[in-house]
Amino acid sequence: MGSRLLPLLLALGALGADATGFRQVAFYLVLLAVIGAAAAAFVCVGDALAGKGSWLAGISSGLALALLLLGSTVRAAAAVGAGVPTLALSSLVLASLLYSLPVLGWVLEPLFRQPEFTQVAVVPERLQRG
């Protein structure tokens, strides 16, 4: 349940449901995304504290969870029959971007990696003829 892919897919599904007019489905998808985001954030932060994961994944998961909570709160407080609040949609988009941030770091990692040097053993010529 600690996968970052689950809340990302649920948030994107909620965006799609909002775009097609299924507001109630989008509301429940956001609530499910909050549960998945909480599990992913706990796992990512725990892995970062244990030294097994990256801090970028832990911080971005925590921020995405906060954004999903904010969006679900605004969405739940909206008037019945009214459109989806802009803050609710913006928080879904920003949470999706935060979940995609470690992928961007993974893609750009080769650009910032330091070259590794290998040592070559030089054998004197008199030992080579042996």
Q: What tens digit of pLDDT does each residue of 36-95 get? A: 999 999 998 999 899 888 888 889 999 999 999 999 999 988 888 778 899 999 999 999
| 120: region left, alpha or beta (phi > 0 left; psi from -120 to 50 alpha) | beta
**pLDDT tens, 113-126?**
777 777 777 766 66
Q: Taking Cα atoms as reference points, which of 102, 88, 99 lies closest to residue 62?
A: 99
pLDDT of res. 78? 84
pLDDT at 81: 77
pTM: 0.77
Shortest CA distance to 98 belongs to which of 47, 55, 48, 62?
62
pLDDT band at 34 (very low <50, low <70, confident <90, very high): very high
**Contact at 8 Å (CB) between 68 and 34?**
yes
The whole-number average pLDDT for the span 5-18 is 93
Torsion of CA 27, 32, 34, 37, to 10 degrees: -140
pLDDT for the residue 1 = 41
Q: What is the pLDDT of residue 129?
A: 59
Contacts of 40 (CB under 8 A, 6+ apart): 1, 2, 3, 4, 6, 7, 61, 65
- The pLDDT of 12-34, averaged and rounded, is 93
